[in-house]
Chains A and B, each alone.
Chain A
Amino acid sequence: MSKKRGSETPVEKLSVSNPWIPAVMSLLIPGLGQVVILKQREFGLKLLIAWLVIAIGPTLVMTPLRLSGTQVNRGAITLADTVALSALGIGVLIAAFAAVTAYRSAMPDSDEATAEAAREKPPEAALSFQDLRVSFNTEFSTVDAVKGVSFDVMPGEVVAVVGESGSGKSVTSAAAMGLIPKNGTVSGKVFLSGQDITTMDAAQLRRLRGTEVSMVFQEPMTALNPVLKVSDQLKEAMEVHGVAFGKDALAKGVELLELVGIPDPGKRIFEYPHQFSGGQRQRIVIAMAIACSPSMIIADEPTTALDVTVQAEILDLLRRLKVEINTAIMLITHNMGVVADMADRVVVMFQGEVVESGTAEQILMSPQHPYTRRLLEAMPKLHQAKPSATAAVEVSEEWPDQTQAEVDAEIAIEAKDLALAYKHRGKAMRVVEGVNFSVPKGEILGLVGESGSGKSTIAKAVLGLLDVDHGELLIRGRNLPSLSRKERKAVRKDIGVVFQDPAASLDPRFPIGEIIAEPMVVQKVGSPNDRKERAAELLEAVKLPRSVINRYPHELSGGQRQRISIARALSLSPSILIADEPTSALDVSVQARVLEMFIELQEQFEFACLFVTHDLAVVDQLANQIMVLEKGRVVEQGHKNQILREPRMDYTKRLLAAAPVPNPQEQRDRREARHKLLAAQGLNTD
């Protein structure tokens, strides 16, 4: 069948001009011309696409007709060719027109702008925002993220930008790098060493990034490319700007790692990011940031994801580098302690506006704006007096003998010589060893330690998510390892749990009511109506309106979501609650309100609680007992006043010394005290 037609085609092919040639030509001339000659890739591509539609479109449509090769369609085929040819003509005309206008508008404009910029602003400040406004076009509306922000960062100065999520502080910093996403519009001016970056094109901006301004990000775990060696990532930072190449770049990379305090840099530079700890990765990110000696470093929450002791080390490093390479730092944070430790001046942002600015001393010691005051009050403080430390729990100083004897019947969770292990390829890796504790009914035990200390592992074991490797784990007197599957399920009914990330621990497809009622469904408690009623009650208990019941998690804020998590944890009226860093993903003011509510609920429901956290100040507010863990072993345990005010062990002292306080004067003293302490313990003070 097809052969017959094949014999006819060559004849036809000769008689009709091939329309593909003019069609493709009409594409190439205007489009590639834009791309290659005028270097306006975006416009050129758009032109290409437009011509793809206009010129190839008709030809494409006509191809089947051409292929069928019947005489009837001759007219149509000629029409297609005509369209394609005229498209070529129009294409060339438009290309010429576009070229002229583009040349006129683009070239002189940028020259004028830079000249204007130079005239307008004498280059004093390393970074200067003048009436910066940024708005984002979303699907439904326009959101003003930054509404007219002006401030300067002088050379060699540390300016802290403080505010909670949604205050626009991160957007402001992105504007300084020219990194505003495509759907954002920027107005106002941003000067970097006197150059206005808002008028620069992509290539000019690129030349500034890394050499004039560089950035240290919040998440050291994800900020480095996992599949490239550290050496490659460091080298490219220099090679991009022609600072050093090949072996020179490598040698300079080793120097940089040495400078930021990575031990054995000559060897470790060839390792991959996952072979470094979180703190070390942040050091590497900092090394990359200073590779081309920028005059300005923007640090966006550089220590938020790190442990307190690591945070103190990173802040020390930044402080040292600031002096050594004389760079200005814009430090974005929500931690007033970090501000007190680092900043010369402070800018407080709230809903896209600067509400207050001044020296660190002024802002922290005598805040004027109510929002600043609120922020400072919300910050949990370590050394405040705690009136609710009652006599009853004071007894437990000589833990555990006395308590155990007195309230033996009411012990909710008890661990005896507990050891926990993760299994990897059949081999057990002990991560927790020799842990003893007991939590009586109605008390909170704070588990404190850094990442990798095993605090979350213990919480997991209590939940029955991890098998006990050795020792006993008693939940209300019943030893978890010796129970059958069915009995364990029954025990779990008595345990509620709140996880760290409220966004990740609530199923986005479930309405709130069902989320709260789910534990009841799983344990087959009550009728659907009872469950609904209970969910509504719990919403009231966590201070959310009953109407929330039919809404979905994404419609709520982070703090509200964490309230939902707590309501879900309480839905079976458990006698035990496990809280794994429940407030560390929240803003300080939200954290303060959630903690307040948590204390109230605890008094009301009288559950025993295992509260896992890395924040000593939070434990101070909540816990009765504290257990300090390091690398899977208990360092110190006892009543919170003893642990926090009279620590006996070196590790606890280090932890306490590393927590910054929101008072510049006091923080300076604490910093020196910490350095002395570290020196006394024979440790590196970098």
Chain B
Amino acid sequence: MTGYIIRRLLQFIPVLLVATLIVYAMVFLMPGDPIRALAGDRPMSEQVQAQLRDQYNLDDPFLVQYGKYMWGVFTQGDFGTTFQGRPVLDIIRQGLPITLTLAAVAFVFQAVIGTIAGILAAVYKDSFVDRFVQVSLVIVVALPTLAIAFLLQLTFGLNLGWFPIAGTREGFVSYILPGIVLAAVSTGIVARMLRSELIEALQSDYVRTATAKGMKRSRVVTRHGLRNSLIPVVTFLGADLATMLAGTVLVESVFNMQGLGGQVFRSIQAQENTIVVGIVILFVLFYVVVNLIVDLLYAVLDPRIRYD
């Protein structure tokens, strides 16, 4: 088991290198001169420009730039500074709690609501409940995320006034609407996945054995049916938790939150490349770690799987 984890962690190194290289290349080979963009309409002396170029290694060949940057990241935890001179780590430290809270709210929502909807649909298969769940999920999946965001803002934010619709000033409550929006599509997928898995599990022989023991239906479903059908759902949830970070780019912009996703969006516009690269590296790292956890969870859920 330990050997397996070490092997997997070693696999991260090439993954991380390749991913960051691609991101770095994409951002830094983009047309346009960031120094010019920084200066804008104001005049900037040659000397200042040269100093900035030197500070950000802009005159080095691309690979050397990349090498210097990664060296800084991994030896000193230095993600560089923005063109305004602010350390990127500072920005990350500020935005990370917001983004993580948002992702956590969304994750809990999709896991809980998706699972409940999936179980109801499977247990009352072909009944009205099942169809109701299915149809409403199709609607949610089919609607563009933006439309869902505006609909929720309009209904629960403006008309009913239950939730704030922008910013994070009101604490946890302000994460609920954006969390739901972020989770909407995945909730539908989780529910449908669990429904089909559970229906299959409920027809299996071991569920029949459990019923023959005289167990209550609810206990048969939760203890015998659910655990077996959760395996693929957990895999999906894990992979989705990571892709969710990409979703925060849109949601944080719509809800005007100062998290990492919104930051990436604004930084791309302002050509603040160091911020983009720093945050994306963080996202990649997160993705890889979450995937490892999912694979380990797999062995917990299904004892037939052994890592050695």
A389 CB-CB contact with B under 8 Å:
no
Please, how many angstroms separate the alpha-carbon atoms of A225 and B211 in the complex?
Answer: 12
Which A residues, 231 to 288, have Cβ-Cβ distances below 8 Å to chain B? Answer: 236-237, 240-241, 272, 274, 285, 288
B210 CB-CB contact with A under 8 Å:
yes
Question: Which residues of the other chain, B, contact A69 by a CB distance below 8 angstroms?
Answer: 159
B11 CB-CB contact with A under 8 Å:
no
Q: Are A67 and B154 in contact (CB under 8 A)?
A: yes
Question: Which residues of the other chain, A, contact B205 by a CB distance below 8 angstroms?
Answer: 217, 219, 222-223
Question: Which residues of the other chain, B, contact A223 by a CB distance below 8 angstroms?
Answer: 205-206, 208-209
Question: Which residues of the other chain, B, contact A392 by a CB distance below 8 angstroms?
Answer: none
Which B residues, 210 to 227, have Cβ-Cβ distances below 8 Å to chain A? Answer: 210-217, 219, 223-224, 227
Q: Are B211 and A67 in contact (CB under 8 A)?
A: no
Please, how many angstroms separate the alpha-carbon atoms of A236 and B220 in the complex?
Answer: 11
B31 CB-CB contact with A under 8 Å:
no
How many cross-chain pairs have Cβ atoms below 8 Å apart between A and B?
A: 104
Please, how many angstroms separate the alpha-carbon atoms of A225 and B217 in the complex?
Answer: 16
Q: Are A288 and B206 in contact (CB under 8 A)?
A: no
Please, how many angstroms separate the alpha-carbon atoms of A241 and B213 in the complex?
Answer: 9
Which A residues, 587 to 634, have Cβ-Cβ distances below 8 Å to chain B? Answer: none
A5 CB-CB contact with B under 8 Å:
yes
A386 CB-CB contact with B under 8 Å:
no
Which of B74-82, B173-181, B298-306 forms part of the interface with chain A? B298-306
A682 CB-CB contact with B under 8 Å:
no
Question: Which residues of the other chain, B, contact A45 by a CB distance below 8 angstroms?
Answer: 124, 129
B158 CB-CB contact with A under 8 Å:
yes
> Which of A46, A66, A222, A240 sits near B159, CB closer than 8 Å?
A66
Q: Are A179 and B208 in contact (CB under 8 A)?
A: yes
A214 CB-CB contact with B under 8 Å:
yes
Looking at the assembled complex, report how far the CB atom of A672 sits from the nearest CB atom of chain B, in whole angstroms.
34
Q: Are B214 and A210 in contact (CB under 8 A)?
A: yes
B155 CB-CB contact with A under 8 Å:
yes
Looking at the assembled complex, report how far the CB atom of A348 sits from the nearest CB atom of chain B, in whole angstroms.
25
Q: Answer whether A9 and B161 are a contact pair too, CB < 8 Å, given A67-B155, A217-B209, A241-B214.
A: yes
Which A residues, 36 to 76, have Cβ-Cβ distances below 8 Å to chain B? Answer: 45-46, 49, 52, 63, 66-67, 69
Number of residues on chain A facing chain B (CB within 8 A): 44
A680 CB-CB contact with B under 8 Å:
no
Which A residues, 196 to 213, have Cβ-Cβ distances below 8 Å to chain B? Answer: 202, 206-211
B256 CB-CB contact with A under 8 Å:
no
Q: Answer whether A224 and B209 are a contact pair too, CB < 8 Å, given A49-B128, A67-B155.
A: yes
> Which of B128, B214, B302 sits near A209, CB closer than 8 Å?
B214
Q: Are B153 and A224 in contact (CB under 8 A)?
A: no
Looking at the assembled complex, report how far the CB atom of A487 sits from the nearest CB atom of chain B, in whole angstroms.
39
B160 CB-CB contact with A under 8 Å:
yes
Please, how many angstroms separate the alpha-carbon atoms of A589 and B219 in the complex?
Answer: 42
Q: Are B214 and A207 in contact (CB under 8 A)?
A: yes
Q: Are A240 and B214 in contact (CB under 8 A)?
A: yes
Q: Are A288 and B215 in contact (CB under 8 A)?
A: no
Secondary structure dominating the interface of B: helix
Q: Are B214 and A227 in contact (CB under 8 A)?
A: no
Please, how many angstroms separate the alpha-carbon atoms of A223 and B205 in the complex?
Answer: 5
Please, how many angstroms separate the alpha-carbon atoms of A227 and B201 in the complex?
Answer: 12
Q: Answer whether A179 and B211 are a contact pair too, CB < 8 Å, given A227-B301, A227-B303, A228-B224.
A: yes
B145 CB-CB contact with A under 8 Å:
no
B228 CB-CB contact with A under 8 Å:
yes
Looking at the assembled complex, report how far the CB atom of A177 sits from the nearest CB atom of chain B, in whole angstroms.
6
Q: Are A227 and B228 in contact (CB under 8 A)?
A: yes
Q: Answer whether A13 and B228 are a contact pair too, CB < 8 Å, given A215-B212, A227-B302.
A: no
Please, how many angstroms separate the alpha-carbon atoms of A223 and B206 in the complex?
Answer: 4
Question: Which residues of the other chain, A, contact B160 by a CB distance below 8 angstroms?
Answer: 13
Q: Answer whether A240 and B215 are a contact pair too, CB < 8 Å, given A217-B208, A222-B206, A223-B206.
A: yes
> Closest chain A residue to B228 by CB distance?
A227
B204 CB-CB contact with A under 8 Å:
yes
Q: Are B214 and A206 in contact (CB under 8 A)?
A: yes
A226 CB-CB contact with B under 8 Å:
yes
Please, how many angstroms separate the alpha-carbon atoms of A159 and B206 in the complex?
Answer: 25
A10 CB-CB contact with B under 8 Å:
yes
A426 CB-CB contact with B under 8 Å:
no
Please, how many angstroms separate the alpha-carbon atoms of A272 and B304 in the complex?
Answer: 8
> Which of B159, B301, B304 sits near A9, CB closer than 8 Å?
B159
Q: Are A67 and B159 in contact (CB under 8 A)?
A: yes
Question: Which residues of the other chain, B, contact A529 by a CB distance below 8 angstroms?
Answer: none
The digit string for B128-143, where 1 denotes a CB below 8 A from any CB of A, is: 1100100000000000
Q: Answer whether A179 and B302 are a contact pair too, CB < 8 Å, given A5-B158, A10-B161, A67-B154.
A: no
Q: Are B223 and A226 in contact (CB under 8 A)?
A: no
> Which of A13, A66, A209, A219 sits near B212, CB closer than 8 Å?
A209
Which B residues, 223 to 281, have Cβ-Cβ distances below 8 Å to chain A? Answer: 223-224, 227-228
Looking at the assembled complex, report how far the CB atom of B22 sits from the nearest CB atom of chain A, in whole angstroms.
32
Q: Are B212 and A236 in contact (CB under 8 A)?
A: no
Please, how many angstroms separate the alpha-carbon atoms of A211 and B213 in the complex?
Answer: 8
> Closest chain B residue to A271 by CB distance?
B303
Q: Are A236 and B158 in contact (CB under 8 A)?
A: no
Please, how many angstroms separate the alpha-carbon atoms of A215 and B212 in the complex?
Answer: 7
A370 CB-CB contact with B under 8 Å:
no
A6 CB-CB contact with B under 8 Å:
yes
Q: Are B224 and A225 in contact (CB under 8 A)?
A: yes
Q: Are B212 and A214 in contact (CB under 8 A)?
A: yes
Q: Are B214 and A211 in contact (CB under 8 A)?
A: yes
Please, how many angstroms separate the alpha-carbon atoms of A177 and B212 in the complex?
Answer: 7
> Which of B129, B154, B208, B216 sits near A2, CB closer than 8 Å?
B154
Please, how many angstroms separate the alpha-carbon atoms of A285 and B208 in the complex?
Answer: 12
> Which of A5, A52, A208, A219 sits near B214, CB closer than 8 Å?
A208
Looking at the assembled complex, report how far the CB atom of A419 sits from the nearest CB atom of chain B, in whole angstroms.
26
Question: Which residues of the other chain, B, contact A209 by a CB distance below 8 angstroms?
Answer: 211-214
Q: Are A237 and B213 in contact (CB under 8 A)?
A: yes
Please, how many angstroms separate the alpha-carbon atoms of A229 and B224 in the complex?
Answer: 12
Which B residues, 146 to 179, have Cβ-Cβ distances below 8 Å to chain A? Answer: 150, 153-155, 157-161, 165
Looking at the assembled complex, report how far the CB atom of A175 sits from the nearest CB atom of chain B, in whole angstroms.
13
> Which of A2, A206, A224 sits near B206, CB closer than 8 Å?
A224
Question: Which residues of the other chain, A, contact B204 by a CB distance below 8 angstroms?
Answer: 222
Please, how many angstroms separate the alpha-carbon atoms of A210 and B214 in the complex?
Answer: 6
> Closest chain A residue to B215 by CB distance?
A240
Looking at the assembled complex, report how far the CB atom of A260 sits from the nearest CB atom of chain B, in whole angstroms.
15
Looking at the assembled complex, report how far the CB atom of B100 sits from the nearest CB atom of chain A, in whole angstroms.
28
> Closest chain B residue to A67 by CB distance?
B159
> Closest chain A residue to B120 by CB distance?
A45
Q: Are A225 and B206 in contact (CB under 8 A)?
A: yes
Looking at the assembled complex, report how far the CB atom of A180 sits from the nearest CB atom of chain B, in whole angstroms.
12
Q: Are B215 and A13 in contact (CB under 8 A)?
A: no
Looking at the assembled complex, report how far the CB atom of B129 sits from the nearest CB atom of chain A, in whole angstroms.
7
Q: Are A226 and B228 in contact (CB under 8 A)?
A: yes
Q: Are B159 and A210 in contact (CB under 8 A)?
A: no
Looking at the assembled complex, report how far the CB atom of B184 sits from the nearest CB atom of chain A, in whole angstroms.
18
Question: Which residues of the other chain, B, contact A222 by a CB distance below 8 angstroms?
Answer: 204-206
Please, how many angstroms separate the alpha-carbon atoms of A606 and B302 in the complex?
Answer: 49
Q: Answer whether A210 and B128 are a contact pair too, CB < 8 Å, given A13-B159, A222-B206, A236-B223.
A: no
Q: Are A9 and B158 in contact (CB under 8 A)?
A: yes
Looking at the assembled complex, report how far the CB atom of A682 sits from the nearest CB atom of chain B, in whole angstroms.
35
Question: Which residues of the other chain, B, contact A210 by a CB distance below 8 angstroms?
Answer: 212-214
Question: Which residues of the other chain, B, contact A236 by a CB distance below 8 angstroms?
Answer: 210, 213, 215, 223
Q: Are B214 and A6 in contact (CB under 8 A)?
A: no
Question: Which residues of the other chain, A, contact B159 by a CB distance below 8 angstroms?
Answer: 9, 13, 66-67, 69
Please, how many angstroms separate the alpha-carbon atoms of A223 and B158 in the complex?
Answer: 55
Looking at the assembled complex, report how far the CB atom of B148 sits from the nearest CB atom of chain A, in whole angstroms.
15
By Cβ-Cβ distance, the 9 closest A-B pairs, closest first, are: A209-B214, A210-B214, A6-B158, A222-B205, A225-B206, A215-B212, A272-B303, A237-B213, A49-B128
Ordered by A's residue number, 28 sampled pairs between the chains whose C-beta atoms are within 8 Å are: A2-B153, A6-B157, A9-B158, A10-B161, A45-B129, A49-B128, A49-B132, A52-B132, A179-B208, A206-B215, A208-B214, A209-B214, A210-B213, A210-B214, A217-B205, A222-B204, A222-B205, A224-B206, A224-B209, A225-B228, A226-B228, A228-B227, A236-B213, A240-B214, A272-B303, A272-B304, A274-B303, A288-B209
